[in-house]
Amino acid sequence: MASIEDFEHLDIRVGTILTAEPFPQARKPAYRLTIDFGAALGIKRSSAQIVARYTPQMLVGRQVLAVVNFPPRQIGPFISEVLTLGVPDDSGAVVLLAPERNVPNGGRVY
């Protein structure tokens, strides 16, 4: 069982998607996201397998939650710096996690 200390090791922040582009080199359909996490963290990149529910146009300007303290991960020719969070729906398509209303970029989940 996980402890509260385990949870405290995760740094989950809110950011706003600046760009969303198809990522044809990924093994599974995905987008390359550029996300603004505010002044403290800056702009980070993420690969996200969310093409079943979202178009790039739907994503730009949307706030999302992401784990920002995992090590970067090489995905084909792309370095994914953060893990964008989502939950699968009944069909297995990922639905993004986001705050219920806009909050400042870089806000931490506690």
The pLDDT score that the predictor gives to residue 47 is: 97
Domain chopping of the chain, boundaries? 4-96
Whole-angstrom Cα distance, residue 2 to residue 74?
Answer: 28
The pLDDT score that the predictor gives to residue 51 is: 97
| pTM, 2 dp | 0.95
The DSSP code sequence of 20-48 is EEE-TTSSS--EEEEEE-HHHH-EEEEEE
**Each residue of 59-74: pLDDT tens digit?**
999 999 999 999 999 9
Give the number of other CB atoms < 10 A from CB of residue 60.
Answer: 14
**Each residue of 5-55: pLDDT tens digit?**
999 999 999 999 999 999 999 999 999 999 999 998 999 999 999 999 999
Q: What CATH number should be reported for the domain whose range is 4-96?
A: 2.40.50.140
**Averaged pLDDT, 82-93:** 97
